[in-house]
Amino acid sequence: MLDKNVLSLLGLAMRAKKIVTGDVLMKNIRQKKVYFVLIAEDASENTKKKYVDKCSYYHIDYQINGFIDEISRAIGKDNRVALGIVDRGFADKIKSK
């Protein structure tokens, strides 16, 4: 479960257009444009492995925390299992929480 402050930061980052999801997230990981990836705990094992392997290979910090509903509600999108933060300031603040 994510902290209330982290959820607020995710909403703020989304409004600032500093969050990417889906295919754009995978593309940005490959291009090393993402500073932090958040993966939902209740995502399928295959999905978690895909993101963890990609982040490990490209040396991008990631965390498996929160639930799909929680993350989706925080950013105002439906069914988001992973999201990437493309701003170093937001990424550092979320990692510290």
For tokens 């600032």, what's the residue?
Answer: 16
69 vs 71: CA distance, rounded Å: 6
pLDDT score of 97:
84
CB 19 within 8 A of CB 82: no
User: How far is Cα 83 from Cα 34, in angstroms, rounded to an integer?
Assistant: 10
* Host domain of residue 34: 4-96
Q: Domain with 36 in it: what CATH number?
A: 3.30.1330.30
- Asked if residues 39 and 48 have their Cβ atoms less than 8 Å apart, the reply is yes
Q: Look at the chain and report how many structural domains it folds into.
A: 1
Residue 1 has pLDDT above 90, yes or no: no
Let me know how long the chain is: 97
Percent of the chain with pLDDT strictly greater than 70 = 100
At residue 9, what are phi and psi to the nearest 5 degrees?
-65, -40
Per-residue pLDDT of 47-63, as tens digits, reads 999 999 999 999 999 99
pLDDT at 2: 85
Q: How many CA atoms lie within 13 A of 58 on its CB side?
A: 21
At 14-40, the pLDDT tens digits run 999 999 999 999 999 999 999 999 999
